């Protein structure tokens, strides 16, 4: 094949990679993107989007079951609810298919050349791509590594057969009667809750002594209560040992040394994700590492001139929207614009039931940093819109400096609270003070009023509590 030359080569068409390529194309940068699977990467095809589709379907099914059982306070009734998971998965696949085609169209619209295949560095300016029709060599002035991450596999529970990753869980065509989930982080709890609502008997095994360790216990308590209400057994401080000899159970050991045999038709392993730092020729380069991640500076530059890295391969937080923001910034830098990177205002969202959002510093983090703080917290049980949605569990909390009321962080837990993440992020990004939030007129009746009320509470004069 004829060698391709370009100003920018992006390796990986996940959220960070395709956004980088699109923005570069918009800015007139001659850009090529290489992807060995479908555009959109893990997030669009086997992660964020399909999991949220399944979570939504599970929520709707659970509501229908409650109606059939006469547990609906609004008087709505339904008969004989059932779930056809194969049809649900087909619906989910239709959504991801539309989005994948949309990404491809946007890349083409921006003038980006797409090469399908596996890329491998030859040197800091040259990449060889294994395509269906042979090897394609690409030479580029600048290269962006956006190879993403992959599920962590446990030695005693290798993927295969009954042992599945989140990818496998999002491809099931039948609801497992008994599901064991290893790991009580956000992926395990999101999917565990969804399958519990679909009818599985779910048991969650976690080696640590708490669920969702990245969030403070005040935020996770409503989720723990919901797990209990759904009949999900959560075994904390418990280590997995492997499958039973007949493969019909997961063997575990509690902190007190008690052996547990957890009957399971499927074992879902969700103990985290690891950066994809192998398989693309890193050994041909001289890249500094930061633990298991590629080391980057505030402009996503690696230790080699002309090579950038973005997204999960560069470290925490491993979030699609972080990768997108990095990708957009790098494209603008390569086009000649001045940009820098600051991760303080990145929202972290956990799509459990109820949902959790956190932006900026938590109260404990602010105190650990030596800050004197004010905290305002407003419950959804005092919010009219939350009542009409039968979603009174949870609250909004704002953390601000005590001296000048600068907002340091905002957290919340509640049904649909992910939709408030942008408002929380803007407040931190723009350097809002408590008075700015309290003085902004929030529409009534909406759940966003809890945001204003939390600021008022911190100022000492909440109106509705």
Residue 141 Cα distances to 4, 31, 88, 92, 124, angstroms: 12, 10, 45, 39, 9
Residues 121/280, Cβ–Cβ less than 8 Å: yes
Max distance between CA atoms of the chain, in angstroms, equals 71
Residue 161 φ then ψ, to 5°:
65, -125
Gyration radius of the chain over CA positions:
24
Residues 84/61, Cβ–Cβ less than 8 Å: no
Report the DSSP pairing between strands 126-131 and 134-145: antiparallel
Beta strands in 310-439 (DSSP E): 348-350, 355-360, 373-379, 395-401, 407-414
Say how far apart CA 264 and CA 202 lie, in whole Å: 9
Return the closest-CA partner of residue 410 out of 436, 385, 390: 436
Residues 145/294, Cβ–Cβ less than 8 Å: yes
Residues 146/310, Cβ–Cβ less than 8 Å: yes
Beta strands in 54-133 (DSSP E): 113-116, 118-123, 126-131
Say how far apart CA 73 and CA 53 lie, in whole Å: 26
Structure tokens at 99: 């989005």
Q: Is position 405 annotated as part of the catalytic site? A: no
Q: Which of 321, 405, 444, 461 is catalytic?
A: 444
Between CA 346 and CA 283, with CA 39 as vertex, the angle to 5 degrees is 80
Report the DSSP pairing between strands 373-379 and 395-401: antiparallel
Helix or strand (DSSP H, E) at 212: none
Catalytic sites, residue numbers: 444
């Amino acid at each position: 094949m004829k060698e391709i030359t370009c100003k920018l080569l992006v390796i990986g068409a996940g959220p960070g990679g395709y956004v980088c390529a699109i923005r570069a194309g918009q800015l007139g940068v001659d850009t090529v993107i290489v992807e060995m699977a479908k555009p959109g990467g893990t997030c669009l095809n086997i992660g964020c989007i399909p999991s949220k589709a399944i979570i939504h379907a599970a929520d709707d099914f659970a509501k229908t079951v409650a109606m059939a059982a006469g547990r609906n306070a609004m008087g709505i009734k339904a008969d004989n609810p059932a779930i056809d998971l194969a049809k649900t998965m087909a619906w989910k696949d239709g959504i991801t298919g539309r989005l994948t085609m949309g990404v491809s169209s946007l890349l083409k619209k921006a003038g980006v050349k797409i090469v399908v295949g596996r890329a491998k560095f030859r040197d800091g300016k040259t990449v060889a791509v294994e395509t269906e029709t042979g090897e394609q060599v690409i030479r580029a002035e600048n290269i962006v590594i956006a190879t993403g991450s992959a599920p962590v596999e446990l030695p005693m529970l290798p993927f295969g057969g009954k042992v599945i990753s989140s990818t496998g869980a999002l491809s099931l065509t039948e609801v497992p009667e008994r599901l064991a989930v290893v790991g009580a982080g956000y992926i395990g709890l999101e999917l565990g809750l969804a399958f519990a609502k679909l009818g599985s008997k779910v048991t969650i095994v976690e080696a640590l002594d708490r669920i969702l360790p990245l969030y403070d216990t005040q935020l996770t308590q409503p989720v723990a209560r919901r797990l209990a209400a759904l009949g999900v057994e959560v075994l904390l401080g418990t280590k997995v040992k492997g499958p039973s000899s007949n493969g019909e159970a997961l063997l575990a050991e509690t902190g007190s040394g008690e052996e547990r045999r957890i009957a399971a038709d499927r074992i879902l392993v969700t103990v985290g994700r690891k950066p994809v730092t192998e398989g693309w020729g890193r050994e041909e380069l001289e890249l500094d590492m930061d633990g298991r991640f590629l080391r980057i500076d505030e402009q996503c530059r690696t230790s080699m001139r002309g090579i950038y890295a973005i997204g999960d391969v560069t470290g925490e937080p491993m979030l699609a929207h972080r990768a997108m923001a990095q990708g957009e910034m790098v494209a603008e830098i390569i086009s000649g614009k001045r940009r820098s990177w600051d991760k303080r205002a990145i929202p972290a969202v956990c799509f459990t039931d109820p949902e959790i959002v956190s932006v900026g510093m938590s109260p404990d983090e602010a105190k650990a940093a030596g800050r004197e703080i004010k905290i305002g917290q407003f419950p959804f049980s005092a919010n009219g819109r939350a009542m009409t949605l039968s979603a009174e569990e949870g609250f909004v909390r704002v953390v601000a400096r005590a001296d000048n009321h600068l907002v340091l962080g905002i957290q919340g837990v509640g049904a649909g609270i992910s939709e408030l993440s942008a408002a929380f992020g803007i407040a931190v990004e723009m350097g809002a003070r408590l008075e700015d939030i309290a003085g902004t007129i929030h529409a009534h009746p909406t759940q966003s009023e809890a945001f204003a009320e939390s600021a008022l509470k911190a100022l000492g004069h909440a109106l509705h509590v």
